[in-house]
Chain A
Amino acid sequence: MRDSNFPDSDFHDSYWRDDSNANNPEASSDAALESLIRAAGDYVHPTGDLRPRTLEAARLRCRQQRRASGMAFAAILLVLMLPSGMQRPAHFNRINPFSETANVGSLRWQAGQWQADRSKVTSAGQVTDGNVNWALVEGFTQLRRHQAELLHGARATR
Chain B
Amino acid sequence: MVLASDTTTGAADHATAIEAWSAKLLQELPPAVGVLADVQRRGRAALEALPLPRRHQEDWRFTDLGGLTALSPRWDAAPVAPPADWPPAAPGVTRLWLDGRSDPLAGVELPPGLRPLAPLELSQALGHTLAAVGAEHHWPVAFNHASAGDCLALRVSGREIVQLELVSAACNDQAVLPLRVLVVVEEKAQLELTQVLLGSAASLTSLILELHLGRKAAVNHGLLALGEAPASLLAHVAVEQEPQSRYQFTSASRGWALSRLEPRISQVSGAAHTHLAGLQLAEQHQVADTHAWVRFEGPDGNLEQLHKAIADDHGRSIFNGAVRVPRAAQRTNAAQLSRNLLLSNLARIDTKPELEIVADDVRCAHGATVSRLQLDELFYLQSRGIDAELAASLLKRGFCAEVLKGLPAAAAVWEPLARVLQPGSALSAPERRP
A pairs with B: no
Chain B interface (Cβ within 8 Å of chain A)?
none
Q: Which residues of A come within 8 Å of B, CB atoms?
A: none
